Structure 1
Amino acid sequence: MLAVCLPALVVQPAMAERIKDLANLQGVRTNQLIGYGIVVGLDNTGDQTTQTPFTTQAMGNMLSQMGINLTSDQATKLQLKNVAAVMVTTSLPAFAQPGQPIDVTVSSIGNAKSLRGGTLLLTQLKGADGQVYAMAQGTVMVGGAGASSGNAKVTVNHLSAGRIPGGATVERGVPTAIGQDGYVYYELAVTDFATARNVVDAINQATSPGTAQALDGRRIAVRVPDSPDRRVAFLGRVENLDVRPAVGLAKVVVNPRTGSVVMNQRVALEPCAVAHGNLSVVVDGGQPQFGQGADIQVKQDNGSMMNVKAGANLADVVKALNALGANPMDLLAILQAMKAAGALRAELEVI
């Protein structure tokens, strides 16, 4: 309420945030892993193997590794309703070491009805370089339920995907180098020169002048101790420093698929006049047996010209737009027209 009552020229200071919430340490990242596996032990909800030949092929390969050799004819005739082919995905955390457990997501790639109650067999998880970094196995946890009888079917949530908490074990770590030549580099999540300057000031005030320097609107170089132990302690202190980020650009984000409109507090309106009418087409199929054709009517609602008052803050903008009485889909077109006319003082982004 205070923000609405203050004059338009008064800018509310942004809330202080930690550096770890505003920026990431360069080089410290996760790595995506993926693998092809088989889930067994399903209650007749697995793949229809006649339509998913890769499931029977995978089963034949697995059995051959265990000393059970099937002919090609026998493999193609397998009817395994309790088996499903799946893709296993996960993210390898930074600094992960061999033996560390990580969660995995199991997703059906065939026509299995449900993975509930299934067990994932030993699966290799590979990175983009083709190397194996983890091995996954375990019982799949599915957060849904379903039942069917005849033509009736009821499903709650999604049954074709699940998770295995701690289902993978790291077999190989990824070397992660922190910094270079005595410096580490922070990268802001959003490029902003003012925020980069605020981060530099906060680090220099908490440590010593010249410790941090901004390279551009996104990267910040920070001088760190040479000893690994002192470096970790230093970075732990730096990333918890409070910084007031600069006020961002005025932006309106619209989603034409859902009719969603989201705007931040910096959006403003200039005085303008808006006229908007709805156009609808109604098609009546008619009765062909009586020789009557389809009846097509075009209706257009009258749209009167309305005066939109200037809005210097978010509350005024919302009030002005609500006064138009437009539905969300119409509002998308109105905002685009306002932007083209120069009445909308904000960046318009369509997602």
Structure 2
Amino acid sequence: MKRKQMLYLVLSGALYFAAWTQAEPQQARVKDIASIEGIRDNQLVGYGLVVGLRGSGDSQQTVFPAQTLISALQKMGVTVPLSGGTQSAQSAQNMQIRNMAAVFVVATMPPFSRSGSKIDITVSSAGDARSLEGGVLLMTPLYGPDGQIYAQAQGALVLGGYTVAAAGNVRQLNHPTTARIPSGALVERAVPFELNQLKTVDVVLNDADFHTSERMAAAINKALGTPRAHAIDSRQVEIEPKPEEDRAALLDAVEAVEVDVSPRARVVVNERTGTVVIGGMVRLQPVSILHGGLVVNVVSEPMVSQPNPFGQGTTEVVNKTTVEAQDKPVNRIDLKQGATVEDLVQELQRTGAGARDVISILQAMKQAGALEADLEVL
């Protein structure tokens, strides 16, 4: 049996909707709706220097890039001449270098990364550099949450934008102070994790749901041929491997299992941009909506008040204030028993409601209990 699901969008004051047809029930692979506990990415961060810029680096007011350069030169056996004062502060003030910039480097190390594996990195300016175009990142250690070095980053930067300034005119595209280096870091240390040492394999759902977790456990048991999976709660399904079973082969079989899923009815509202997304699983209860608006404009116009001829007064500037009020007609929407989101969208289009109006109506319907869905406000 086929059914039609609707996805409705209210974007920048205009109302749109798209429809597609799919089989009942909806199915998804385990790998698409869940992850394996313990198999995860690892975040890395580091601080380094980008050199080779064309006068678009950090200014003299940013002291720490020069301090970093002094430290790097001293490690290479280069002596920086001093001119009194403390070594770090006075030397940093005397250095006039606009071709370098201090940056933070971030990367995500995938699970099971080994020594020598290459990963992509993102480089972002930490000072007041105008652009990183043409720069080269010097060797930068990348640290994990435990403070250990897991990778080393170095290479030429690739920008997705630029900035050009001449005679006071500036032309900029995207963000020239953030760049990427594909395969710019080499993994030096692997995160210790032994897959075959797992006593149990735990599958964790991306969205907690008891119905989905129970159906997932049943589908995994059917695929494996033995009742080894059971739902712990609304998010976790535990699988008991056999003593000598290959864990990689088990996970391959588990991730390929298709599960019947029932997406949660949800309405997502972004009040900053005026965007509303309404899923097709949303149900409505009978409700009557009255929506109108009162517009009040207060206009203040300066005027010159002069005294009568031969009078004793002086010329003064006074404000003439005019208040205008306009009460818009009330729009009425009636949703009967069995009304769908499509009915609501059509009625909103008929009344000419804008994005802000739709957001207010949806919030009021949720408070009245007429909207059977999770209302998420971003």
TM-score by length of 1: 0.90
Deviates more, 1:27-36 or 1:12-21: 12-21
Distance 1:285 1:177, change over 3 A: farther
Q: CA deviation at 1:242?
A: 1.4
Following superposition, the deviation at residue 319 of structure 1 comes to 1.6
Alignment of 1:321 with 2:348, yes or no, is yes
- Call closer, same or farther: CA 1:2–1:206 in 2, change over 3 Å: closer
Amino acid aligned to 2:260: R
Instruction: Give deviations 1:105-147, integer Å, cap 9, x for gaps.
Output: 0000111111111000010110111111111000011011232
Match of residue 265, structure 1, among 254, 262, 280: 280
Residue 11 of structure 2 is matched in structure 1 by: none
- Matches of 1:113 and 1:335 in 2, distance apart? 44
Aligned mates of 1:259, 1:293 — CA distance in 2: 36
Distance 1:74 1:347, change over 3 A: closer
| Residue segments in structure 2 that go unaligned for 5+ positions in a row | 7-21, 306-316
Does residue 223 of the first structure (1) align with residue 223 of the second (2)? no
Offset of 1:201 from its aligned partner?
1.5
Aligned length: 343
* SS in structure 2 at match of 1:3: strand
Residue 46 (structure 1) aligned with residue 72 (structure 2):
no
Residues 117 and 186, structure 2, Cα contact 8 Å, conserved in 1: yes
Instruction: Tell me which of 26, 32, 52 is aligned to 2:37.
Output: 26
CA distance in 2, matches of 1:104, 1:44: 24
> C-alpha deviations, 1:45-82, integer Å up to 9, x for none?
11112x21111111111111111232333332111111
Structure 1 stretch 309-318 or stretch 183-192: which is displaced more? 309-318
Distance 1:208 1:2 in 2: 32
Residue of structure 2 equivalent to 1:57: 67
- Opposite residue 108 of structure 2, the aligned amino acid is S
Q: What is the alpha-carbon distance in structure 2 between the residues aligned to residue 268 and residue 248 of structure 1?
A: 13
169, 181, 191: which one pairs with 2:208? 191
Q: 1:15 to 1:67 in 2, by over 3 A?
A: same
CA distances 1:214-250 after superposition (whole Å, capped 9, x unpaired): 111111111224447x2212211221111121x2332
Matched, 1:297 2:323: yes
Distance 1:339 1:194 in 2: 24
- CA shift, 1:345, in A, is 2.4
Is this contact kept in 1: 2:49–2:138, CA < 8 A? yes
Take 1:299 and 1:69, find their aligned partners in 2: how far apart are those partners?
A: 76
Can you give the 5+ residue segments of structure 1 that lack an aligned partner in the other structure? 6-10
Greater share of strand residues, 1 or 2? Answer: 2
User: Under a length normalisation based on structure 2, what TM-score does the superposition of the two structures give?
Assistant: 0.84
Measured in 2, the distance between the counterparts of 1:277 and 1:303 equals 6
Partner SS for 2:158: coil
Equivalent AA in structure 1 for residue 358 of structure 2: L
Distance 1:296 1:333, change over 3 A: farther
| 1:255 correspondence with 2:270 | yes
SS of aligned partner of 2:182: strand
Asked if 1 retains the 8 angstrom alpha-carbon contact of 2:293 and 2:327, the reply is yes
> Matched residue of 2:222: which SS?
helix
Q: Within 5 A, what are the aligned runs for 1:209-248?
A: 209-227=226-244, 230-245=246-261, 247-248=262-263
Q: Secondary structure at the match of 1:312?
A: coil
Instruction: Identify if the C-alpha distance between structure 1 residues 295 and 58 changes in structure 2 by more than 3 Å, giving closer, same or farther.
Output: farther
What's 2:289 paired with?
274
Q: How many Å separate the matches in 2 of 1:31 and 1:76? A: 38
Contact 1:139/1:164, CA 8 A, preserved across alignment? yes
The residue number in structure 1 matching 2:146 is 129
The equivalent of 2:311 in structure 1 is none
- 1:300–1:270 Cα change, 3 Å: farther
2-side partners of 1:135 and 1:325: how far apart? 57
Partner in structure 1 of residue 4 of structure 2: 3
Q: Secondary structure at the match of 1:76?
A: helix
Q: In the alignment, residue 75 of structure 2 is paired with which amino acid?
A: Q
Cα deviation per residue 1:142-166 (whole Å; 9 max; x = unaligned)?
0112322212111122100000111
Q: Measure how far apart 1:35 and its partner are.
A: 0.5
Q: In structure 2, the residue corresponding to 1:163 is in which secondary structure?
A: strand
Partner of 1:8: none
